Amino acid sequence: MERLNNYCMGLLSTALALFLLVTVSSNLLHDTTTNKEGTKTLFSAIPTVSAMQSSSSLSSSASRIVASGKPYILYGTAWKKEETARLVQEAVESGFRFIDTACQPKHYNEAGVGQGWTNAVAALSAKQQLKRSDLYLQTKFTPPQGQDPNNIPYDPSSTIENQVTKSLETSLSNLRTTYLDALLLHGPYNNDKDDTMKVWRTFESFVKNEQVLKLGISNCYDLPTFQYLYETSTIKPSILQNRFYSESNFDVKLRQYCKEKNVTYQSFWTLTANIKALDTTELKQLAFKKGLSPQTLMYAFMMSLDGHVTPLSGTTDKMHMAQDVEVMNRIIEKNEGEEKILKEDEMKCMANILGIPDL
């Protein structure tokens, strides 16, 4: 720990003068954007060289990136309401190819996602021929307890199997697609493994019918619960999506289990829950050294973790979209043997700043 603190302090002293010069002379303030959970988060207003470059150079389609096992960033669409279609279109035009949503009108406008990605494909058609298979569409089945009782997209009095089936039908229609790249259970049923497994068995039938390619679960912070699902299921979960924060000890044990089982760990609240760390001088200095904003440095850190983490970005700002895609491209397009964005000492320094007990 002492060595890491010394390293961080050394990083601070070497870059401080240049950082202060740019910050003072620019006289720029932080601005805000709304993340996946609709919460205001701070973003550095100092543009980097990479952020100002075009973000449309993403060379790989979503399907090829997934097949390669490389990390990526999902565009999160919660809380965007009537702005969803416009923002999803901007995200795809900026280079995002992975989109997360849910069949939960309380927090998501799923139909807006469908309109947004199809509008983007049409808008880009003159210079880039995008196909549905170039995109990754991921949605969720939300049980009745997570829905607005006045706006549930299925009959809550019907069987769980019928609820899940109707939710899928609605999602396919909303998203203007014949299949989903991934379908997640929005959260396990409280103290009822049987109901959770009823959902999962229905999910499995969708995979067999080629309506869904991958299955997963969100908001599952208990390792035994996730282990039970993994061990009991016929078609194993490929995705675990959780809030990334100190209250869950950053899911250290769950992430290790995911790595062992080749399960993709997706993080939301990645920025919002760690806003104090993002505002530290040490993290800002490391970001400046790397030519990144504190927020894109955080994403680079997540994607560089052993086993990789797939963060969600819910930015509503086009420049931040470009920055997010740029850092994702830097990691995706890095050739074997090339220097990583973050060295081992820098990864440990980031973990120390965030308070992560074990990488």
Q: How confident is the model at residue 25 (pLDDT cuts 50, 70, 90)?
A: very low
17 has a pLDDT exceeding 90: no
Whether residue 15 lies inside any domain: the answer is no
Whether residue 21 lies inside any domain: the answer is no
CA-closest candidate to residue 331, choices 349, 355, 310, 348: 310
Residue 213 has a pLDDT of 98
Backbone angles phi, psi at 216, to 5 degrees: -160, -175
Residue 128 has a pLDDT of 84
* Cβ atoms within 10 Å, residue 209: 10
More confident residue, 60 or 61: 61
Residue 342 has a pLDDT of 94
Supply the range of the domain harboring residue 96.
31-354
Whether residue 162 lies inside any domain: the answer is yes
Residue 18 has a pLDDT of 42
> Could you give the CA distance from residue 150 to residue 351 in angstroms, rounded to a whole number?
43
pTM of the model: 0.86
As for how many domains the chain has, the answer is 1
Whether residue 24 lies inside any domain: the answer is no
pLDDT in tens, 217-274: 999 999 999 999 999 999 999 999 999 999 999 999 999 999 999 999 999 999 999 9
Residue 41 has a pLDDT of 38
Question: What does R_g of the chain's alpha carbons equal in angstroms?
Answer: 20
Q: How confident is the model at residue 30 (pLDDT cuts 50, 70, 90)?
A: very low
> Could you give the CA distance from residue 174 to residue 111 in angstroms, rounded to a whole number?
4
Domain of 250: which CATH number?
3.20.20.100
Residue 279 has a pLDDT of 97
Q: Which residue has the tokens 């919002």?
A: 272
Share of the chain above pLDDT 90, in %: 73
pLDDT in tens, 77-131: 999 999 999 999 999 999 999 999 999 999 999 999 999 999 999 999 888 889 9
Share of the chain above pLDDT 70, in %: 82
* CB distance 293 to 43 below 8 Å: yes
pLDDT in tens, 280-310: 999 999 999 999 999 999 999 999 998 889 9
Q: How confident is the model at residue 35 (pLDDT cuts 50, 70, 90)?
A: very low
Residue 335 has a pLDDT of 60
* Calculated CA dihedral for residues 212, 217, 223, 224, nearest 10 degrees: -70
Q: How confident is the model at residue 8 (pLDDT cuts 50, 70, 90)?
A: low
Mean pLDDT of the chain: 86
> Could you give the CA distance from residue 188 to residue 293 in angstroms, rounded to a whole number?
35
> Could you give the CA distance from residue 255 to residue 282 in angstroms, rounded to a whole number?
26
pLDDT in tens, 118-153: 999 999 988 888 999 999 999 999 999 999 999 999
pLDDT in tens, 165-210: 999 999 999 999 999 999 999 999 987 899 999 999 999 999 999 9
Whether residue 12 lies inside any domain: the answer is no
Q: How confident is the model at residue 9 (pLDDT cuts 50, 70, 90)?
A: low
Residue 33 has a pLDDT of 38
Q: Spell out the SS3 assignment of the chain.
A: CHHHHHHHHHHHHHHHHHHHHHHHHHCCCCEEEECCCCCEEEECCCCCHHHHCCCCCCCCCHHHHHHHCCCCCEEECCCCHHHHHHHHHHHHHHCCCEEECCECCCCCCHHHHHHHHHHHHHHHCCCCCCCHHHCEEEEEECCHHHCCCCCCCCCCCCCHHHHHHHHHHHHHHHHCCCCEEEEEECCCCCCCHHHHHHHHHHHHHHHHCCCEEEEEEECCCCHHHHHHHHHHCCCCCCEEEEECCHHHHHHHHHHHHHHHHCCEEEEECCCHHHHHHHCCHHHHHHHHHHCCCHHHHHHHHHHHCCCCEEEEECCCCHHHHHHHHHHHHHHHCCCCCCCCCCCHHHHHHHHHHHCCCCC
